């Protein structure tokens, strides 16, 4: 465990003790070896119901994931034993050229999930993988390594998405995304929703609002059973970060949005949510939760073409200023101590950006960085949950991007269930100042149900905010093609999600020329 992990672990331990939560009360903190090992497992039902996935690729390795769950909506359906799982990685889909293989334990303490960190692979190569346990074999997944650190690749094609509320729509967008055959997928949060099931929706969540570890495990299982989502995971590696609904709506640091919830109750629930998140995502060992803390921000390089900084804008932030909602820029909004990233993550980010040799520097994060006025006339109101509620921190980051001359900064954002293209300035009250970066915001996969091209108030929004270049309220994702000379983002939408079969529409395409901040419509 490195010094940062030790410090964060100790901080979390003290925080939970002071809040009245005993670390010994967290049953999943036991070692995998404490459970018996099932030597020759036999399964009455398929244990690989949740499919396979890969993630966090490097130039010589990648994480391979699966989770044993023959009864996925009943906590997985396995006794508290550890199960040996054999894995294979090959250069061909038929597994005639297996390059690596091994055995990992699917530990009961980790929800019978498996995280294989493969290394020693060739850079910029595609591979196929699968898992075996007992006489069961998983579906085949495909993954890839990143180009070598000193190589400038010709092209990168990736997609980014967020917000996939199971109840309010089908995941048709993933079916179209799979047809694009991207190198990578970035998921920017709200992978699940924590709410209790409701009748008369497209689909229904199983169970109540999720608060226990088994609740969270079952909810991930319900989402993972979706065939379009499962196929997209099996097609290429993913880079994932969370937002609020993986835990609890509008969560901020150690503060619940609900009155009457004590800090100890909140942190205990967060520990369960973070545990289930790790169990169900293709993440590396540094992300293993330590109590109610989980280290999720990290850097991934696609050769010298693009550096991805995956940010966590929930775990370390200050409480939403001025009581949340839409408010003017007063009070805690202007307090230099009000933070979105926390001091440590902010310092890490600036250090990583300053040391980058990449042509494009990409922030994968959750909350809209553009400052959008939501009311007409001289009065102004802004979202306190987005970066506009953390105005000093937002200016500090954008000032650093400008003064340190970070190469071609691009901000990728989710959360808001609508598409946006924004010019980012240090000071939006000085609209003639140079553009510092471009922000591409993706809509939801399904959250919000069927969308519309231009929602009520669209004209007002555009007139009040000259920095907004494009806005759209349909469902879908953003497909990006990146070269050393140009970044191009296509806004891919489906016109309905309440029934299958929605065709794909490219609603708008935007390009950023390398060395010249600001997006132009193609």
DSSP codes, 276-320: HHHHTS---GGGS-BTTB----EEEEETTTEEEEE--SSSSPPPP
Task: Provide the pLDDT for residue 15.
Answer: 45
CA proximity to 198, closest of 164, 222, 168, 229: 168
Task: Provide the pLDDT for residue 160.
Answer: 98
| CA–CA distance, 293 with 246 (Å, rounded to integer) | 14
Give yes or no for residue 510 having a pLDDT over 90.
Answer: yes
Strands 520-521 and 83-90: unpaired
Residue 381: both structure tokens together: 């109101």
Kindly report each contact of residues 328-335 with a partner whose C-beta sits within 8 Å and lies 24 or more positions away, as own/partner: 328/379, 328/380, 328/381, 328/382, 329/380, 329/382, 329/388, 329/391, 333/384, 333/388, 333/389, 333/390, 333/391, 333/392, 334/391, 334/392, 335/392
**Residue 221, helix vs strand vs coil:** helix
* Range scoring the smallest mean pLDDT among 87-91, 205-209, 252-256, 350-354: 252-256
pLDDT tens-digit readout, 94-110: 999 999 999 999 999 99
| pLDDT tier for residue 33 given thresholds of 50, 70 and 90 | low
Task: Provide the pLDDT for residue 25.
Answer: 42
| pLDDT tier for residue 378 given thresholds of 50, 70 and 90 | confident
Cβ-based burial of 188 (10 A; exposed 0-12, middle 13-18, buried ≥19): buried
Q: What is the mean pLDDT of residues 42-57?
A: 97
* 333 in Cβ contact with 387 (< 8 Å): no
DSSP string covering 229-276, please? HHHHHHHS-EEE---STTTSTT-BTTB-SSTT--HHHHHHHHHHHHHH
305-147-359 Cα angle (round to 5): 10
Task: Provide the pLDDT for residue 473.
Answer: 95
| CA–CA distance, 56 with 332 (Å, rounded to integer) | 36
The order of strands in the sheet holding 113-118 is: 113-118, 62-67, 52-55, 238-240, 184-187, 156-161, 475-482, 486-494, 504-513, 520-521
* 1 in Cβ contact with 293 (< 8 Å): no
Global pTM reads 0.94
Task: Provide the pLDDT for residue 125.
Answer: 98
45: Cβ contacts below 8 Å, ≥ 6 apart: 70, 71, 77
| CA–CA distance, 130 with 116 (Å, rounded to integer) | 11
| CA–CA distance, 284 with 115 (Å, rounded to integer) | 7
Give yes or no for residue 12 having a pLDDT over 50.
Answer: no
Give yes or no for residue 384 having a pLDDT over 90.
Answer: yes
Residue 343: both structure tokens together: 């001091």
Task: Provide the pLDDT for residue 399.
Answer: 97
Residue 400: both structure tokens together: 């650093």
Q: What is the mean pLDDT of residues 238-254?
A: 96
| CA–CA distance, 421 with 400 (Å, rounded to integer) | 21
CA proximity to 99, closest of 121, 66, 117: 121
| CA–CA distance, 263 with 417 (Å, rounded to integer) | 30
Task: Provide the pLDDT for residue 24.
Answer: 41
Task: Provide the pLDDT for residue 457.
Answer: 77
| CA–CA distance, 448 with 411 (Å, rounded to integer) | 23
């Amino acid at each position: 465990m490195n010094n940062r992990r030790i410090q964060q672990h100790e901080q979390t331990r003290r925080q939970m003790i002071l809040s009245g939560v005993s670390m010994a009360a967290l049953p999943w903190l036991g070692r995998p070896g404490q459970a018996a090992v099932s030597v020759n497992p036999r399964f009455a039902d398929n244990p690989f119901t949740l499919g396979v996935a890969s993630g966090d690729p490097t130039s010589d390795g990648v994480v391979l994931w699966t989770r044993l769950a023959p009864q996925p909506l009943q906590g997985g359906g396995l006794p508290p034993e550890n199960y040996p799982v054999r894995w294979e990685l090959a250069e061909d889909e038929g597994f005639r050229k297996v390059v690596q293989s091994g055995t990992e334990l699917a530990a009961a303490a980790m929800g019978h999930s498996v995280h294989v960190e493969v290394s020693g692979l060739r850079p910029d190569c595609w591979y196929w993988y699968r898992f075996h346990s007992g006489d069961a074999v998983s579906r085949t997944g495909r993954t890839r390594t990143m180009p070598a650190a000193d190589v400038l690749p010709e092209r990168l094609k990736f997609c980014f998405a967020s917000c996939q509320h199971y109840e309010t729509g089908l995941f048709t967008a993933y079916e179209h995304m799979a047809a694009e055959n991207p190198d990578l997928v970035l998921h920017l949060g709200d992978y699940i929703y924590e709410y209790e099931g409701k009748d008369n929706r497209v689909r229904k969540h199983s169970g109540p609002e999720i608060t226990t570890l088994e609740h969270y495990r079952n909810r991930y299982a319900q989402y993972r059973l979706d065939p379009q989502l499962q196929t997209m995971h099996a097609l290429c590696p993913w880079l994932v970060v969370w937002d609020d609904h993986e835990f609890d709506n509008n969560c901020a640091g150690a503060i619940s949005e609900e009155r009457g919830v004590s800090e100890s109750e909140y942190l205990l629930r967060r520990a369960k949510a973070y545990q289930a998140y790790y169990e169900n995502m293709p993440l590396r060992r540094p992300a293993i939760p330590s109590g109610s803390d989980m280290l999720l921000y990290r850097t991934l390089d696609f050769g010298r073409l693009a550096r991805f900084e995956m940010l966590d804008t929930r775990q370390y932030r200050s409480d939403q200023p001025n009581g949340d909602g839409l408010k003017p820029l007063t009070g805690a909004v202007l307090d230099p101590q009000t933070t979105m990233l926390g001091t440590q993550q902010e310092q890490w980010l600036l250090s990583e950006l300053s040391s980058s040799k990449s042509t494009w520097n990409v922030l994968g994060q959750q909350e809209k960085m553009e400052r959008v006025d939501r009311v007409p006339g001289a009065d102004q109101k802004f979202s306190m949950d987005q970066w506009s509620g953390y105005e000093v921190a937002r200016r500090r980051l954008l000032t650093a991007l400008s003064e340190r001359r970070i190469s071609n900064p691009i901000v990728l954002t989710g959360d808001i269930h609508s598409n946006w293209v924004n010019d980012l300035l240090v000071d939006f009250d000085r609209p003639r100042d140079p553009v510092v970066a471009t922000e591409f915001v993706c809509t939801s996969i399904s959250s919000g149900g069927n969308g519309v091209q231009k929602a009520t108030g669209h004209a007002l929004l555009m007139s009040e905010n000259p920095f907004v270049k494009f806005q759209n309220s349909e469902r879908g994702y953003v497909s990006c093609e990146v070269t050393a000379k140009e970044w191009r983002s296509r806004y891919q939408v489906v016109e309905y999600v309440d029934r299958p079969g929605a065709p794909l529409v490219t609603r708008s395409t935007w390009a950023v020329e390398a060395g010249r901040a600001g997006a132009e419509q193609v």
